[in-house]
Amino acid sequence: MPENPPDKTDETSSKPEMPSENGPLSAYGGERPAAPDWFEKAIATPYQTHFIQSGDTQLHVQSWGTPDKPGLLLTHGNGAHAHWWDFIAPYFAAHYHIVAMTFAGMGDSAWRSGYALEAFSEDQIRTCQALGLFEHAQKPIIVAHSFGAFVTLNTGAKYGTRFGGVVLVDSPVNPPDRPSGGPPRKARPNKIYPSLGAALARFRLAPPQPCENHYAMDYIARHSLKQITDETGKTGWVWKFDPMIWQRFHMEGQPAEMLKSMACRLAIIRGEESALMPEEVGRYMQTLLGHQVPYVSIPHAHHHVMLDQPLAFISALRMLL
């Protein structure tokens, strides 16, 4: 992600080493890194674009497959958007009606004057309603990464009977003795960059981590930016997310209690090298549930599992589904 607050679930006890001035995409000078054939074919797969209403906010939504198939709702992390799933979703389109949503204040969805956990959960429900996922004989399943999984804890606790299951992807519920950081409350307007290349050079993942698949990072970064014209008529590029989300965010409830109250089936995927979700956190989450749940660690993957090991992630998700 660009220079935005870390995920709400970023509750590590120590901060990783800060990245250099520019991110790894700066080496390409605005050119696209070479990508493997499977990736090019996946992002070339047609999808439908929708804009739906959730309260007073318009949400950006994408879909693959047809409504006669069971629903699969894909939910992104903090500061991200539906396009994070463009190279994952096509691998499930033969068997599912796949819907990737963008939360309010992020990507191509509209911003709000205030944000709340309950409103983000309502965004998920409204998306399922608008795309007909609740109308199929089989209840839809949510696959949610990072902050999206944090929202899904609330959704599963309050509306879980409407879903067939939830897959939480690298989103920790920390034990009491693991310090909780939370998002920073200070923010500044998104910087305007003079060119697309200059903006891409600043793209970094948050929380910081290495990622060798620069082609995937580049694809995500390009969909994270928009071109604007300022009051002087000068054009530039800015990040799409609302930088004031965490200054205007409100929530009630505790993640541990929400996890214990999940009213549908549950599975967990984590990156084996994730700084946010080490093995002991996964064990604590299973203890909270009081029973064993499907639990998959993806080797050589950090927090952004679908960027680090996309094909392994697809395989693991296929197995769980």
The Cβ-side half-sphere exposure at 19, using a 13 Å CA radius, reads 20
What are the tens digits of pLDDT across the range 1-60?
A: 444 433 433 332 333 333 446 899 999 999 999 999 999 999 999 999 999 999 999 999
Inter-residue contact 59 to 124 (CB < 8 Å): no
Q: What is the mean pLDDT of the chain?
A: 91
How do residues 91-127 score in pLDDT, each as one tens digit? 999 999 999 999 999 999 999 999 999 999 999 999 9
Ranges 23-32, 172-181, 243-252, 283-292: which has the least confidence: 172-181
Contact between residue 313 and residue 88 where contact means Cβ atoms under 8 Å apart: yes
CA distance 112 to 303: 27
Cβ-based neighbours of 109, under 8 Å, separated by 6 or more: 57, 58, 59, 60, 81, 102, 103
pLDDT of residue 14: 32
d(CA 62, CA 64): 7
**What does the radius of gyration of the chain's CA atoms come to, in whole angstroms?**
19
Three-state helix/strand/coil letters over 118-171: HHHHHHHHHHHHHCCHHHCCCCCEEEEECHHHHHHHHHHHHHHHHCCEEEEECC
Q: What percent of the chain has pLDDT over 90?
A: 83
Strands 165-169 and 141-145 turn out to be: parallel
d(CA 259, CA 77): 18
Say what the pTM is: 0.92
Residue 63 has a pLDDT of 98
Distances (CA, A) of 137 to 64, 69, 93, 163, 283: 19, 9, 18, 11, 34
Residues in the chain: 321
